[in-house]
Amino acid sequence: MFSKISSFSNKLLNIAIAFSLAAMSFAVFGNVVLRYVFNSGLTWSEEISRYLFVWMVFLGAIAALKDKMHLGVDIVVNALPKKLQKLVFLISNAIVLYLLWLVLQGSWKMTILNMNSTGPATGMPLSYLYGIGIVSSIWMMLLVIASLLKAIRGKTENMTIIQSSNDVLSEVSQEDKFIAK
C-alpha cells in the first residue's frame, strides 16, 4: 500500500514539475515571439511565469529531499558508531521537521494574509503563490516522517539525510560504463 502511494506521489511530483517548466517556457517564449514579431505581448506572461517558477523551485526541493540530493556534510556522521549514527539521524530529522513546521506556519499566515490581494496582470489571488509553501512543507514532512519510521524500525542502512558522495560517484561511474557500452 505504501509503495503504491509513494509511486503515485512520485509521478504526481514529476508531472507537476514538468508542467511548471513547460508552461513557464511556453509563456516566456510566446511572449518573446509576440513582442519581437508582432510588436505586441501578453501582459500576464511575466507574472504567470514567475508564479510557475516559484512553484517549480518548491516542487524541486521536494524531489531533492525525496532523492536525498540536498547539500550536506556527512563526514562526521559516517565516522560515528552505528548507534550514534541512528541517534544523530533521529535528531537531525526532528530538527528538519521543526523547521518544516515553521515554514508551514509562515506559509499559512502569508496565504491567509494575501487571499484578497491579487496579481496586477493576472488578477489571480496571491494566496496561490504562497500556497506552495503549505503544499511543499506538508509533503516534505511526510517524507521525513516516513524516513524516521524506517530508521526506528531499523530498515535503513544509510543514517544520513543526504546521499553519500561515494554513492553519487558510484552512480556516475556506472552511468559512464553504461554509456561507453
Per-residue pLDDT tens digits for 61-119:
999 998 888 777 777 777 888 888 888 888 999 999 999 999 999 999 999 999 999 88
Residue 20 pLDDT class (50, 70, 90 cuts): very high
CA dihedral 19, 27, 24, 126 (to 10 degrees): -100
Percent of the chain exceeding pLDDT 70 equals 84
Mean pLDDT over the full length of the chain: 85
Whether the predicted pLDDT of 129 surpasses 70: yes
**pTM here?**
0.79
| Beta carbons within 8 Å of 168's beta carbon, 6+ residues apart | none
pLDDT attached to residue 97: 96
Q: Which of 35-49, 80-94, 160-174 has the lowest mean pLDDT?
A: 160-174
Residue 159 has pLDDT above 80, yes or no: no
